[in-house]
Structure 1
Amino acid sequence: MKKKIAAAALVITLGLSMLAGCGQKAAEEPAVKQTAQESEAVTEEGDGEKKTETANSELSGKITFWTTGDKSNTNDHTYPWMEENIRLFEEKYPGCEVEATFITSGEDYLTKITTEVAAGNAPDVFRTYLTGRLQPFVDGGKVLPIEHMLDTYPETKAIMNDKALALSTFDGKAYAIPLIASGEMFFYNKKIFRECNAEVPETYEELLALADLFNEKGVTPCMLGISDPWPGTIPYMMIFNRLNGNELYEKVVLNKEADFADEAFVNAGQYLQDMVNRNMFNESIVAISQEEAGNKFKAGESAMIIDGSWSVPGFAETLGDDVGIFNLPAIEGGKGSANDWLMNFDEGFAISSGTKNQPVAEAFLAFIFSPERQAAYAETGALIACKNVDYDTSKISPLTTEVMNAFEAAAYSIIPWDNPLGTDVGQELNNTTQAIITGGDPGKEFGKLQEYAEDAWGE
């Protein structure tokens, strides 16, 4: 029987619960942890309690680890945190070594990890995607369930977020731990808005009028980089929701009932193309990456950017109080709401079923998701997926707080489509929106996507 993931039910409630645990007091932690290769020295205390000492030195061996990361990208606060994880893990477990590979491009990473996993060459621990992109790994027996690791490391188990784990759960077993709560939105430069007498738009027509205003002032309205196609799908998904609500999204994207030729998809594509023709975006949109777009926004080269919450630390660090967020406004006559947000749990980490050193792999995964290391990550401004993690909230920016508050108040959460659609159809969707942005006919492009989905899903 085909494995099923509990995503459809989750999407309705995710927005109200995804960040509920962030910044809360940590649950009382067990004093010790053990692995299969760690020994106990147990002595009876007078009150009948047991004192357990862990022999970390008995855990040994080398594992491989793959993830995304770019040392040169100042927006990437995950890279230095992950490097520190590796260093501290090897200090704690002197007999262990982590051979890490960081791949800069998310698109390159998706291609490479999918190829290596399919070929049976997966690294011991690796970043994976969730829902539809994880399912082939699970169906193929390429990843281990994480229950044994969580039972071995109860302090990690104590901070797991069930809502997040639902995105990696198939037939009752979880196969990856999501790292972040992520969402996609408009960021805007408050200084540029003040200088141009611009206001945050409350309607879709006001947003389009901003494109005219900023162009008249010689300012690029909104930065976006689609040399890798996926960022172009962000405004498309927003537009589709505002026009159509969520019923068709759930049918096609979550339930995989191919219907991309429906006029609703085509019409949303036309809206996206109209936005491009209104000169909303930078002329270099196809030539630059989203990382380059982010750097240009930080340098004050545009009034807005459509980007993800993963960029919050870098934007806040560079722009300080001069950066804020808003969601795509409602479209008159549409069924969706400006309080429906694109958000999800993301960046899962899994253990390969082909690992030759499961105890070390489990120890490393547990270390990344220990309360201490998750607190350190949260203090970089990251929106962590784990709950009950105690960290210093004075270290996070007002922008982080603004994003967290917006997510908590969301009426509905939309999982970014390319995740549940899977590696094949999800990538083809991104190619479709890229083609539309560059002038392709929306009807023809979505017709091709429909044919592709029918073939991929066997319809």
Structure 2
Amino acid sequence: MKNLRWAGAAGVALAGLLASGCGVPGGGGAAVSAGITGPRITRPVTVQDVAALGPTTLRVLADSGEDATLKALVPMYEKKYPNVKVDVVTKGFDDLMKTVVNSMSGSDAPDLVQGNQGYGTDGPLVKAGLIRPLDDVMRAYGWENTFTDGALKQYRWTPDGAIFGSGSLYGISPATEYVGVFYNTDKLAALGLKPPTGYAEFTADLARAKAAGQQPIMMGNAEKYPASQIIGLVQAQNVPSRDVRSWISGVPGATISDDGTKAAARTVQDWAKQGWFGKGYDGISSDDAVAKFSHGQGVFLVAGSWNAPALQQSMNGRVGFTLPTRPDGTRATVGSLGLGWHINSRTKELPAATAFLGMLMSDGFAQTIADVGRTPVTGQGGVKAASPVVDQVNRIGLRLLADDGQNFYLDWASTTMLDTVGAKTQDLLAGRLSPGGFTDGLQSDWQAFQNQQREDAAAAGGTP
């Protein structure tokens, strides 16, 4: 059972840390803390602040992809804050996304939870008032000095959960991830090719691989989203990131039925027609595609950066990673910071929860994040990658952030977009849908969702 002492006597002991009704020092006062109804964090939490809670259980619900990170973090945290016992529950991504809102709505909800950016998960969490704005915590710990404004938009919402990409900060993550291009170094050498740096070079290498009898790209699309990520990578070459993100965020008048996205859809449809993805890709899972690539099937693998540690190990170092540049030398692709960490708006363990996030986001923990094969955003001055391919992922990932080239994920755009993108992509690659039909299908879903958002806001007395 959770300790409830903070609601009483412990609240007095923490008066120096928490100032109910006061602005964040140096943070712009009430505007920065909009939506916070309880105590506010005004400086980094100390050991004494957490000790004032007395014996405490901090309940954490996270994605199973965080297992290695949490296995390292929790013992460090409990050693520093010995009065706190951290109770961790992890779930697979799909299971977490299906249950997280209900879990946070219950009487025994976790104090810290991971959601997922966009209207599908974080939107409902914000709309129901289940998670707490973190503007005050960000100011207290200086996170605004680590991230670009564009990157932080993925965690920003208006308090009613109606507008994504602006308003208060509701989440944070110490890591970044994105879709790029893995390559088999032995196969490239056999073809007389060097790792491609630019997009034109990459597409030329695909053609040369096919001409030499090799499968250019290993892809498994059983889950329906991997092919859409390939479209997103191609889309990023000629559609400004701000336009893609505006559409995902629901900016009025935004469209995905633009010439650049249609061209990307046409390109990937042509690749499928030419056999560049091999046969039966709709029956191959994304995990199986990674395994097949590690065993020599395909010259390239367009996939998430999070696959680097496993590929380094299974390919015994015979793998590299790149992200083709745009004509101006910058990089852009499908990607984001990690799944956002959120604090329960009703938690009675706010200092303990804040201290947990503070340690997770600290420069001192960045090396641990790198050691488990992830790309830390913090502590880059002295962080060493776990392997050569992870080093490539990390260096490119930081340049991607500097270029403000994370386009986010198309399925964030509505509560139904994941299914829509998956179905439309399968139809596109099978030739059942034209590039224009593909983009129009996504736009129709987006428009229907935006119309519903406006109707809901009007019914609630908000701004239609």
Task: State the TM-score, normalized to the length of structure 2.
Answer: 0.71
Structure 1 residue 188 corresponds to structure 2 residue 178: no
Q: 1:297 to 1:118 in 2, by over 3 A?
A: farther
Q: For 1:64, give the aligned amino acid.
A: R
Structure 2 residue aligned with 1:309: 305
Matched ranges for 1:1-400 at <5 A:
33-34=46-47, 36-39=49-52, 59-69=54-64, 78-104=66-92, 106-114=93-101, 116-117=103-104, 123-130=110-117, 132=119, 134-147=122-135, 157=142, 161-163=146-148, 164-170=151-157, 173-201=168-196, 207=202, 210-211=205-206, 213-215=208-210, 219-246=214-241, 248-249=243-244, 251-254=246-249, 255=251, 257-262=253-258, 264-319=260-315, 321-328=317-324, 339-342=330-333, 343-386=335-378, 388=379, 391-393=382-384, 396-400=386-390
**Aligned match of 1:450 in 436, 443, 447?**
443
Q: 1: distance between equivalents of 2:415 and 2:241? A: 22
Q: 1:98 to 1:202 in 2, by over 3 A?
A: closer
- CA deviation after TM superposition for structure 1 residue 273, in Å: 0.9
What's the Cα RMSD here?
3.6
Q: 1:320 to 1:69 in 2, by over 3 A?
A: same
Q: 1:260 to 1:418 in 2, by over 3 A?
A: closer
Q: 1: distance between equivalents of 2:325 and 2:306? A: 22
| Conserved? CA contact 2:63–2:91, under 8 Å | yes
Q: What SS does the corresponding residue of 2:173 show, helix, strand or coil?
A: strand
Summarize deviations over 1:175-218 as a string: whole Å, max 9, x none: 21222122221110111111233344577676555445545655
Q: 1: distance between equivalents of 2:343 and 2:246? A: 31
Structure 1 residue 403 corresponds to structure 2 residue 393: yes
Q: Which consecutive residues of structure 1, in runs of 5 or more, have no partner in the other structure?
A: 1-29, 40-57, 71-77, 331-335
- Number of matched pairs: 394
Q: For 2:310, give the aligned amino acid.
A: G
Q: 1: distance between equivalents of 2:243 and 2:312? A: 36
| Conserved? CA contact 1:258–1:450, under 8 Å | no
- CA deviation after TM superposition for structure 1 residue 118, in Å: 6.6
- CA deviation after TM superposition for structure 1 residue 365, in Å: 2.9
Q: For 1:399, give the aligned amino acid.
A: V
- CA deviation after TM superposition for structure 1 residue 339, in Å: 3.0
Q: Which moved more, 1:115-124 or 1:127-136?
A: 115-124
Summarize deviations over 1:247-283 as a string: whole Å, max 9, x none: 7535533425353444554343222111111212143
- CA deviation after TM superposition for structure 1 residue 305, in Å: 0.6
> More relative contact order in 1 or in 2 (CA 8 Å, sep 6+)?
1
Structure 2 residue aligned with 1:16: none
Q: 1:222 to 1:122 in 2, by over 3 A?
A: farther
Q: 1:205 to 1:406 in 2, by over 3 A?
A: closer
Q: Which moved more, 1:183-192 or 1:364-373?
A: 364-373
Q: 1:237 to 1:177 in 2, by over 3 A?
A: same
Structure 2 residue aligned with 1:333: none
Q: 2: distance between equivalents of 1:108 and 1:258? A: 32
- CA deviation after TM superposition for structure 1 residue 236, in Å: 0.8
Q: For 2:248, give the aligned amino acid.
A: V
Q: 2: distance between equivalents of 1:417 and 1:149? A: 26
Q: Which moved more, 1:159-168 or 1:430-439?
A: 159-168
Structure 1 residue 433 corresponds to structure 2 residue 425: yes
Q: 1:59 to 1:246 in 2, by over 3 A?
A: same
Q: 1:209 to 1:247 in 2, by over 3 A?
A: same
Q: Which consecutive residues of structure 2, in runs of 5 or more, have no partner in the other structure?
A: 1-42, 159-166, 455-464
Q: 2: distance between equivalents of 1:118 and 1:448? A: 33
| Conserved? CA contact 2:60–2:88, under 8 Å | yes
Q: 1:435 to 1:354 in 2, by over 3 A?
A: farther
- CA deviation after TM superposition for structure 1 residue 103, in Å: 2.5
- CA deviation after TM superposition for structure 1 residue 363, in Å: 3.5
Summarize deviations over 1:124-162 as a string: whole Å, max 9, x none: 2111223555344323322112356568xx6x5579624
| Conserved? CA contact 1:201–1:329, under 8 Å | no
| Conserved? CA contact 2:218–2:278, under 8 Å | yes
Q: 1: distance between equivalents of 2:59 and 2:382? A: 30
| Conserved? CA contact 1:176–1:349, under 8 Å | yes
Q: For 1:112, give the aligned amino acid.
A: T
| Conserved? CA contact 2:183–2:321, under 8 Å | yes
Q: What SS does the corresponding residue of 2:374 show, helix, strand or coil?
A: coil
Q: 1:405 to 1:370 in 2, by over 3 A?
A: closer
Summarize deviations over 1:416-452 as a string: whole Å, max 9, x none: 2336524433553344324323443033333332222
Task: State the TM-score, normalized to the length of structure 1.
Answer: 0.72
Q: 1:396 to 1:428 in 2, by over 3 A?
A: same
**Aligned match of 2:410 in 412, 415, 418?**
418
Q: 2: distance between equivalents of 1:119 and 1:392? A: 40
Q: 1:204 to 1:419 in 2, by over 3 A?
A: same
- CA deviation after TM superposition for structure 1 residue 60, in Å: 2.7
Q: 2: distance between equivalents of 1:325 and 1:194? A: 15
